[in-house]
Every structure is written in structure tokens, then in C-alpha cells.
Structure 1
């Protein structure tokens, strides 16, 4: 056990500080996505963007996050988790400022790509740091609180975003995370001692990363225009590139992810598949709801945000309780019960 591990094992206040600051930073990720959803009608009207381009405001963020998740995590292992956490927070601030001052929809989407990439590294390194800080005990509860912060961002995002759009215009939504992220950077560098660098100095597989990025981009773009021949062809190309990524990954000396090991871990594969369906079922509904409530029902951004926050509010309340129960009851019963509850809710809609 190194000196950093001994320090956090010995001092409970140090663990608590790490949990608070990292959760606060991770909160910005969903807050930025959720707040921007209720601002889409105002953005589209001001920047004269069509429906397809407007739908890319959250999609560009999510796509960039997916693309950067694997290489960003590996790069963070090499340069240090804390250093990566700090610099990804800085990049998140730059992306927010770029979005706030964007003169057109194209530059706004570029800013969302930057924020999505930074948010992916920020979230993954934050979780990794907490796993190291709470290595001896309480890891499930700590991750439960961090998950609660994610849901708190999802909960407050629509309401805060709606109020900001009504009072100050849509550009204020992109200013929102800037002061918080700056404060977190300053505090983490000052009161979070230690660094975590992987002992395995394997390089990042940049070729595999490019193939993976091209595959996801083609799938996203193709799905946007799936009714057209060009869109269907792009989607098919994305599927082919995804297959190529799997082949390349299996041959690479330093793969982004050890698929052979993951496929042998049946519980992990099942949990990831369940999470894919669960979050996939939620994303489209949230986006459509934001547009439906304002365009079809005539609600203001604030009123739409109030309705959209209800689901995330329940997730915020339940996350820390579920995290604590997972340390005692196990994860399978809780995950299965939650999935059934989501299915019932979707059928009710």
C-alpha cells in the first residue's frame, strides 16, 4: 500500500472532501445535458437551425462522450487520474464559454463536442479516483452518492435551464457550469493530495480509437437520416467499422478494451446490456418531451423544466439508498427490481 492509499485510509475527512469535490464536478456532466434540452427551441429560433441540427445539440455531446470514453480512460491511467480530472474540468469550462458565445449552430455543436469529450474523461476519472480513495471500505456507498450527484444534475438541469432561458436567454445555460468547474479545479488542486498513475505503461491504441470514433459517428449520422438511402448506407458503414474495430482490438498488442476477458465475465456483460437498454429507453423520451411540452403544449421553458425534473428527482433520492443496500444485499436484486420498475413506467406512458 503506497502513501496516498494510507493517507486516505487513515483520514475520513480527506475521503469526504474527495467525495464532495468530485461529485460536484461530475454533477456538471448531466446538468449541462439536461439544461440544454429545454433550451433547444430557443436556440433553434435564435440561430435559425432546422430540427435535425437542433437535435444534434445533445447528440453531439453524447457522441463525443462515447468516442472519448475508452481512449480518455487509458490516457488518464498513463498521465495520472487527478491531472486528467483537473484538465478535463478546464476543457469543460472552455467548451461552455465557446457555446455561450457561439454565433451559429455549427460552432455551438463544436463546443458541445469539446464539452462531451471533457465530460467523459471527467466522469470516468472521478469514479476511478473515488474507487481508489474508498479502496478499504465504503466504496459502494461513495459511488452511490456520486451517482446521486449525477441524478441531481439530471433533476435540477431542466428546471435551472428553463429559468435561465426565461430570464437571461439560452446563452446563460452554457455559462452555468463555468464558475462551478473553476471552483472545483482550484479546490481539487489544493486540498486533494496524491496522484494515481497506472504501473502498466501500455500506450494508447490510437488506430483503434480512430476506428471506434468513425464507427460511432457513422452510426449516429446514419441513424439521423435512416429513411434516406444515403443515411442507410452510412449506418451500414458504421456497423462494418464497428466489426472492424472488434477485429482490430482482438489483434492489437495494447487494445482499448480486452473484449475476450469481458465476454468471459457473464455478469458484467448482462449488467452492461441492461444498462444500455435502460438508458437508451430514457434518452429519446427526454429529448422528445422537451420539444413536445414547448412546441405542442405551449409551455414556457420553466414550466417544461418543472415537469421534466420529476423522474430525475426520484432517481436522486433513491441512488444513495440503493448504493448502501448494494453493499449488503448485493446488486442483482436491486438492478432487476429497478429495471422492472422502468419497464412498468414506460408501458404506463
Structure 2
């Protein structure tokens, strides 16, 4: 096991690289949501197909996070982080040169694999390089960069899409990624290998990946009979995965973390619920603002920027605060505040004022920012050092799985109310009804999350 001494790690460069990486991924992800109408128009995609431009990325990322986290613990977290950035950059260029909707969706899937390599290791690297008393602060800074990316992306995505076309989003992201790759390769010499002598769990991985794919893909295609069967098959596979992992001495996911660590289990469940209840908000409102309110991509971006701005600002302070007081209280309060914002959005109509929507987004952003950093701090502080990679990957898996379920809920509602049609003035009322249902379901999920985030005994700092 190699644990770099403090003087072997340039913490400034390390933080700059991880923060830049955490900034760019959501920057492009949310910007793509703004560009979806333009992408759909160029490739003649219906609303459900447009959702797959986002869901393909999330699905691949969720499926590969756990295996990549384990591989990072075994072979080196910096190594996997570097290769992830390279793979992500290549896939980003493929997106930029897409000639069809299917090629774009396939390229987004490859992007998700690269993202999994990055996200499964970045937080583990940061946690390993800084002392426990600074853990909440560095988590808060990295989380705030995610939200800063989300903050700028609607505005930047709107301007770039309107001025240079949607492909410019991918070109710019790829260009900046080259600098990140350069910094990782030449400036970060340390490596973190915590499980060098362990064997990779091939059986568990081969069960987990297709099972997770089947469950999430099937859920996204409900309510058809094949989708129901696919979902059930995926769930059955994941149950089998749990039993296999219990018997494996070197599991890709240590199930004891869930069954013997109440903090780890409840906080991961809360992360899943929170992302499932909030991620698709920007997707739904982007379509609502452009199709129902007839705003330009730039104007829609200016409205949507409200939520992530509040997230970024609050996440910094909530992360620092979680080093001083029990983060369980902060996380639970944040989830409760999010309920209010989602409930407000469930009442939107075609004539709803922009001020009402901005207020709801501000409340939602404040709540999410108050929840995220403390909840991540709870998870990472509840495990031993050798589990940092797996814990980081588990957090990412809960996040991305929650995102996929969020998009699946949105796509299912749109499918029921609008069908396989492009959204236009003739069916806009149906789309608005679907949006109301989506936000109501999200509200109920967040209410459940309030209770799950409060479960657990007194946090033990490692």
C-alpha cells in the first residue's frame, strides 16, 4: 500500500485538477439539456429519444463506477483518474462530430465510462491527501465546483448553442480537458494504491454490470411488458450479486458496509433519493421554458441558472460547517427545504410567472446545497481508509443511478401524456400535465429522503 506523505503531494495542483474535473463534467451535462431542442431538431428526435442523449451518459457512468473504483484502489487512483480524463476527452470529440442521433447517444455512453473512471477516484484521492479535520472543507469545495459548473452551464450553453451551435459545447469541453490531462500527468507524481494485493472480483462485476443495465434500462422504458420483464430481470440479478459479494473475500462492493454501517447505508440511500428527486428538474424545465413559454435557449438558461448558483454557494459553507457540527442535521434540513421547492414546481401552468419558477428553483438549490456536502462527508467519514475508493464509487453510483431514475420518471411521464411525438403547441397542455406529475412524484421522494437522511447513530470521525 502506498500512501504519499504530505510533502509528496502538491495539494494546490491536486485540488485544482479535481475541482476543474468536477466543474467541467456537470458544465457540459447541464448545457446539453439546454441544447436538447436544437439537437432534437437537427436529428428529428422525439422527446423520449432526446432524454436518451442524457440517460445514455448517466447509465454508462452508473454501471462502471463501482468496478472502476475497485480497480483504482488496486492499480492506483491517479492512474485511473488520468485514463478516465483521456477516455472522456476522446468521447467528447466523438460527440462533437456526431452525424446522427444514434451516434451521439453512443458517444455519450462512452463519455459516461470515462466519467465513471474520473468520479470513482477523484473524491478518494482528495480524501486521501488531506487530514480528517479538513475533510468537510475539501469535499465542500469540490462539490461546490460541481454546482458552479451547473450554474454557468445553462447560460453558457444557451449562448454557445444559439451563437455557434450545440457542437461547440463539446469542442470547448474537449479543449479544456487537454489542460487537465497535462496537469495530472506532469504535476501530480504521487499515487494512491490501497488494495494492491487484492484480486479483482470478476464474477461479481460480470453479474453487476448487466443486471444494473437491465434494471435501469427497463425502468426507463416502462410501462411496456418487455420493460417490466427487463426491470424484474435486472433486480433479480442485483439480488444474486448481493449474495455473491457476501461470499467473496475481495468483493467489488463490500456488502458489510451496507449491513453493518448504518451511517453508510442510510446516507447512500439519501443521496440516491435526492438525485432521483432533483436531477431531471432542469431537463423538464428546459423543455417547459422553451416550448411552453417560448423562451430562447439563452433566456431559458438564465432562468435555470438560479438553482445551481444557490447550490454552489451553500455547498461551500455547509461542507465547512459539517466539520464542526453533526452533518446529519444539515443533510436532513437540506432535504426538507428541497421539498418546498419541488412542491411549488408541481403547480406550474402555462401562464405561471418566471418569478414563481425562479423562487422555487432558489429554494430547491439552497436545500440541495445544504444536503450534499454534509451527506458526502458522512459517507466518507464512516469507512476505513482502504475503502475510500469503493466508498467514493458507491456515492457516485448512488448519484448516477438516482439521476437515471430521475430521467426515467420524467421520460415515463412524458411518454404517458405526450407519447412518441415531438412537443409542439398542439400537445403542450399534455406536456405541462406530465411536468406536474413529475414534480409531484419528486416531492414525495424528497419527503421519504428527509427521514432516510436522519437515520444513523452518532458520526464517528476516522
TM category, shorter: over 0.9
2:320 is aligned with 1:324: yes
Shift of 1:18: 1.2
Residue 81, structure 1, aligned to residue 77, structure 2: yes
Task: Answer yes or no: is 1:108 the counterpart of 2:121.
Answer: no
CA–CA distance in 1 between the matches of 2:51 and 2:135? Answer: 37
The separation in 2 between residues aligned to 1:136 and 1:239, in whole angstroms, is 37
Q: For the residues of structure 1 that align with 2:149 and 2:18, how far apart are their CA atoms?
A: 13
Which piece of structure 1 moves more, 262-271 or 61-70? 262-271
Between stretches 244-253 and 113-122, larger displacement belongs to: 244-253
How many aligned residue pairs are there?
345
* Structure-1 separation of matches of 2:228 and 2:338: 31
For residues 24-82 of structure 1, the C-alpha deviation after alignment (integer angstroms, 9 at most, x for no partner) is: 01212211211111111111111122322211111111111110110001111222111
Q: CA deviation at 1:292?
A: 1.4
How far does residue 263 in structure 1 lie from its aligned partner after superposition? 1.3
State yes or no: 1:119 paired with 2:115: yes
Counterpart of 2:182 (choices 180, 186, 191) is 186
Q: Secondary structure at the match of 2:98?
A: coil
Is this contact kept in 1: 2:2–2:193, CA < 8 A?
A: no
Moved over 6 A (4+): none
TM superposition shift of 1:3 = 7.6
Change (3 A) 1:25 1:295: same
Distance 1:3 1:226, change over 3 A: closer
Aligned to 1:209: 205
Deviates more, 1:137-146 or 1:212-221: 212-221
In the alignment, what sits opposite 1:264? 260
1:71 alignment counterpart = 67
Of the candidates 156, 163, 174, which is equivalent to residue 170 of structure 2? 174
CA contact (8 A) 1:52 1:224 kept: no
Q: Aligned to 2:280, what secondary structure does the other structure show?
A: helix
Instruction: Report the more deviating stretch, 298-307 or 185-194.
Output: 185-194
2:38 aligns with one of 34, 39, 42:
42
1:122-157 CA-partner distances (Å, limit 9, x unpaired): 122111111111136412211110011111111111
Does 2:288 correspond to 1:292? Answer: yes
Unmatched segments (≥5 aa) in structure 1: none
Flag the 1:136–1:224 CA change in 2: closer, same or farther, 3 A. Answer: closer
| 52, 56, 61: which one aligns with 1:56 | 52
For the residue of structure 2 that corresponds to 1:198, the secondary structure is coil
Return the offset for 1:343: 1.1
Post-superposition offset of 1:283: 1.6
Alpha carbons of structure 1 residues 105 and 242: separation in structure 2 relative to 1, 3 Å:
same
| Aligned CA distance change for structure 1 residues 3 and 46 (closer, same or farther; 3 Å) | closer
Partner residue in 1 for 2:367 = none
Shift of 1:260: 2.4
> Structure 1: how far apart are the matches of 2:152 and 2:46?
27
Tell me, in whole angstroms, the C-alpha distance in 1 between the residues paired with 2:157 and 2:221: 29
Aligned residue in 1 for 2:444: none
After TM superposition, the score normalised by the length of structure 1 is 0.94
TM-score, length-normalised on structure 2?
0.72
Q: Quick one: distance in 1 between partners of 2:24 and 2:207?
A: 29
Match of 2:23 among 7, 24, 27: 27
Compared CA separation, residues 289 and 210, structure 1 to 2 (3 A): farther
- Could you list the per-position Cα deviations for residues 202-225 of structure 1 after superposition, in whole angstroms to 9, with x for gaps in the alignment? 232233223222122222222232
In 1: Cα distance, 2:195 partner to 2:155 partner? 44
Whether the aligned pair in 2 keeps the contact of 1:215 and 1:241 (CA below 8 Å) is: yes
Change (3 A) 1:124 1:224: closer
Aligned equivalent of 2:382 = none
Are 1:5 and 1:132, in contact at CA under 8 Å, matched by a contact in 2? Answer: no
1:135 to 126, 131, 134: 131
